[in-house]
């Protein structure tokens, strides 16, 4: 059961749609949103700039300017959170009331490095909801990487556009017989329990066993879930594009495993994971 959802609050335009996606999940499970803003440390930034050879890192007034920017960003993030809660009539709560049947939210602020705090909070959350950001948004990428690789928790990335159907109504599972995909399916069980349609999609490669997705369907049946299998051949643009296109046409949520590892905050995931993180047209629930 999903009862606590971690959501980063950055103070930029991605926050509101990310809050909305998280609230959509929270309403399914009467869950609590822990909304986290990480306040950058100006002194840490200056020290880092100096260590990296930044010639102007110690210019007079730099720390004061950075501090002002940090305060403005925090104020913007807090304002967006407060307005969202007021608009959605979302209760602010630090502890669950007895017999809670509605979503709630709480504002948190920490100072330091965003990926580290994302990991610290994410480890104890049931789910993390975070936006992918733009192609040049290194902060969003580092937070996604931290959430996916270092928390052991499932990550929900909202799609590029608002889904036309309820999030859990039609679910596609991108299946290959790996531990990552198995963990993703296990993490998705609360969503699968609410789905009207479940399709297991596999892109068959030469070494694929045709009975692998059938075994998953049989396993899901023991949970009371009816699922079908769709086997695809890789299209001209590759397996990732083939699977994402099929999932987008059939589902409102894609469940998949995340493959790869982290090194110096670079994207070194497999092609499919990279493509899904960068620009999947539908929401993606991913586990590593």
Domain boundaries, the chain: 4-157, 170-287
The burial class, CB within 10 Å (0-12 / 13-18 / 19+), for 143 is: buried
pLDDT of 273 over the 90 cut: no
Return the residue matching tokens 């104020």. Answer: 75
Ranges of beta strands (E only) in 114-193 are: 127-129, 155-157, 170-174
Q: Is the model more confident about 167 or about 55?
A: 167
pLDDT of 94 over the 80 cut: yes
CB burial of 236-251 (b: ≥16 within 10 Å; e: otherwise) equals: eeebbbbbbebbeebb
**Which band of pLDDT confidence, cut at 50, 70 and 90, is reported for residue 162?**
low
Q: What is the mean pLDDT of residues 117-126?
A: 96
Q: What is the mean pLDDT of residues 64-90?
A: 94
Q: Is the model more confident about 231 or about 146?
A: 231
* Whole-number Å distance between alpha carbons of 52 and 80: 34
**Which band of pLDDT confidence, cut at 50, 70 and 90, is reported for residue 204?**
confident
**Which band of pLDDT confidence, cut at 50, 70 and 90, is reported for residue 135?**
low
Report yes or no: 195 and 167 within 8 Å, Cβ to Cβ.
Answer: no
Q: How are beta strands 155-157 and 284-287 bridged, if at all?
A: antiparallel
Q: What is the mean pLDDT of residues 250-267?
A: 68
pLDDT of residue 265: 36
Report yes or no: 144 and 278 within 8 Å, Cβ to Cβ.
Answer: no
pLDDT of residue 20: 94
pLDDT of 111 over the 90 cut: yes
Report yes or no: 6 and 194 within 8 Å, Cβ to Cβ.
Answer: no
Q: What is the mean pLDDT of residues 66-88?
A: 95
pLDDT of 209 over the 50 cut: yes
| Residue 43 per-residue DSSP state | H
pLDDT of residue 106: 97
Q: Is the model more confident about 189 or about 160?
A: 189
* Whole-number Å distance between alpha carbons of 74 and 211: 52
Element (H, E) at 145: helix 138-150
Fold: same for 4-157 and 170-287: yes
Report yes or no: 159 and 283 within 8 Å, Cβ to Cβ.
Answer: yes
pLDDT of residue 260: 55
Q: Is the model more confident about 153 or about 45?
A: 153
* Whole-number Å distance between alpha carbons of 176 and 78: 41
Mean pLDDT value across the chain: 85
Q: What is the mean pLDDT of residues 135-140?
A: 70
Return the residue matching tokens 């959802």. Answer: 5
245 phi, psi to nearest 5 deg: -65, -45
**What percentage of residues in the chain have a pLDDT greater than 70?**
82
pLDDT of 40 over the 80 cut: yes
* CB neighbour list of residue 83: distance below 8 Å, 6 or more residues apart: none
pLDDT of residue 263: 39
**Which band of pLDDT confidence, cut at 50, 70 and 90, is reported for residue 57?**
very low
Phi/psi-derived region of residue 55, left when phi > 0, alpha when psi is between -120 and 50, beta in every other case: alpha
* CB neighbour list of residue 142: distance below 8 Å, 6 or more residues apart: 114, 115, 265
pLDDT of residue 49: 66
pLDDT of residue 28: 94
pLDDT of residue 278: 66
pLDDT of residue 267: 41
Using CA atoms, how far residue 231 sits from 18, 202, 225, 228, 237, in Å, is 32, 5, 19, 10, 17
**Which superfamily does 170-287 belong to?**
HUPs (3.40.50.620)
Q: Would you identify the CATH topology of the domain 4-157? A: Rossmann fold (3.40.50)
pLDDT of residue 90: 95
Report yes or no: 19 and 81 within 8 Å, Cβ to Cβ.
Answer: yes
């Amino acid at each position: 059961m999903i009862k606590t959802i971690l959501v980063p609050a950055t103070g930029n335009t991605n926050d509101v749609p990310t809050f909305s996606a998280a609230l959509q999940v929270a309403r399914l499970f009467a869950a609590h949103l822990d909304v986290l803003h990480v306040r950058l440390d100006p002194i840490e930034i200056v020290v880092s700039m100096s260590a990296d050879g930044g010639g102007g890192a110690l210019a007079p007034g730099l720390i004061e300017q950075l501090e002002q920017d940090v305060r403005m960003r925090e104020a913007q993030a807090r304002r967006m959170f407060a307005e969202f809660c007021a608009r959605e009539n979302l209760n602010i709560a630090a502890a669950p009331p007895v017999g809670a049947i509605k979503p709630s939210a709480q504002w948190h602020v920490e100072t330091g490095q965003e990926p580290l705090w994302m990991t610290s909070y994410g480890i104890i959350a049931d789910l993390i909801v975070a936006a992918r950001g733009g192609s040049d948004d290194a902060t969003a990428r580092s937070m996604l990487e931290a959430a996916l690789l270092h928390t052991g928790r499932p990550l929900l990335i909202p799609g590029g556009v608002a889904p036309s159907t309820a999030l859990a109504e039609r679910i596609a599972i991108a299946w290959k017989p790996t531990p990552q995909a198995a963990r993703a399916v296990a993490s998705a069980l609360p969503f699968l329990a609410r789905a009207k349609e479940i399709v297991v999609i596999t892109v068959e490669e030469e070494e694929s066993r045709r009975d692998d997705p059938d075994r998953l369907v049989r396993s899901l049946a023991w949970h009371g879930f009816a699922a079908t299998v769709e086997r695809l051949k890789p299209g001209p643009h590759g397996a990732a594009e083939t699977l994402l296109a099929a999932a987008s046409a059939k589902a409102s949520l894609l469940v998949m495993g995340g493959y790869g590892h982290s090194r110096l905050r670079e994207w070194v995931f497999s092609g499919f994971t990279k493509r899904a993180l960068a620009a999947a047209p539908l929401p993606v629930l991913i586990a590593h």
